[in-house]
Structure 1
């Protein structure tokens, strides 16, 4: 298996994996279909600009998983004196390839990228299925809250 960096031309596969990830988490297919094109455009733009770094897992020439990092420009805080943080997103492994350590290898590659860039604070939002792996890798729950502001 090969884990390779994603180029902007991989935006479509990343968007498809993201849709599949959300479907696995119980999200509504119609809602995902409505935002697919805008999510695809965002991923292409973010890959081109370097705002997002993606990795794809390939076996026998076939993409079977992926993971990525959103580079966040945030002020230093008590946990880091740096102004760049990594936000892990789009972690996905095709169902027929799960249970073989692929998600772990993708996350290890993501964390290697953070280390290579000197980024010392990394966060993510975990699905119930992913939580045990993230905790094994040292991620800790935080006190984050969320509010969805409705449009008028």
Structure 2
């Protein structure tokens, strides 16, 4: 029986481990130590409430996760609160993939956004995750501009 729960401060070491596994799965070479930076990030965001990280357990073993981060922007006529949300840290261990866990996580995260009054959610999708997001209803846009140096 899978159990979905919100992560807390006591879960930071697990969150760091899962994040690093996700990055490697996406083909990113682990060529530097980012443990301290991840620890600070998760601690600060969990404390200030701008991050909701969900964990999926099976027999007390974490096998999947997903998160939503809330950002404040100046209010607009199309987004009165100015708050937008970003889906991140979506990861499912290989032997649990294809069972609908990512879709369930996504549903729960979108519900969190709706309950917070958010009307726009965005994300950056890996090749592995893209079909899940598109099936869920996320649309590809050309809004993103990126500067790399």
Compute the TM-score of the two structures, normalised by the length of structure 2.
Answer: 0.92
Q: CA deviation at 1:136?
A: 1.1
**Residue in 2 that maps onto 1:73:** 72
The match for 2:90 is 91
Q: Deviations over 1:24-50 (max 9, x none)?
A: 11101223xx22221122111211111
Matches within 5 A, 1:30-109: 30-31=31-32, 34-77=33-76, 79-109=78-108
- Give the 3 Å change call, closer, same or farther, for CA 39–69 of structure 1 in structure 2: same
What is the alpha-carbon distance in structure 1 between the residues aligned to residue 78 and residue 62 of structure 2? 36
SS at match of 2:34: helix
Measure the CA separation in 1 of the matches of 2:10 and 2:48: 13
Aligned residues: 147
The gaps in structure 1 that reach 5 residues or longer are: none
> Once superposed, what is the RMSD of the aligned Cα atoms?
1.4
Contact 1:52–1:70, Cα closer than 8 Å, also in 2:
yes
Q: Which runs of 5 or more residues in structure 2 are unaligned?
A: none
Counterpart-to-counterpart distance in 1, 2:110 and 2:38: 24
**Cα deviation digits, residues 44-80 of structure 1 (max 9, x gap):** 1211111211110111111111111111001234653
Q: Residue 12 and residue 79 in structure 1: after superposition, are their counterparts in 2 closer, same or farther (change >3 A)? A: farther
TM-score with structure 1 setting the length: 0.90
User: 1:55·1:68 contact (CA, 8 Å) conserved in 2?
Assistant: yes
2:65 counterpart SS class = strand
Q: 2:139, 2:74 → 1: CA distance?
A: 21
- Map of 1:136 onto structure 2: 135
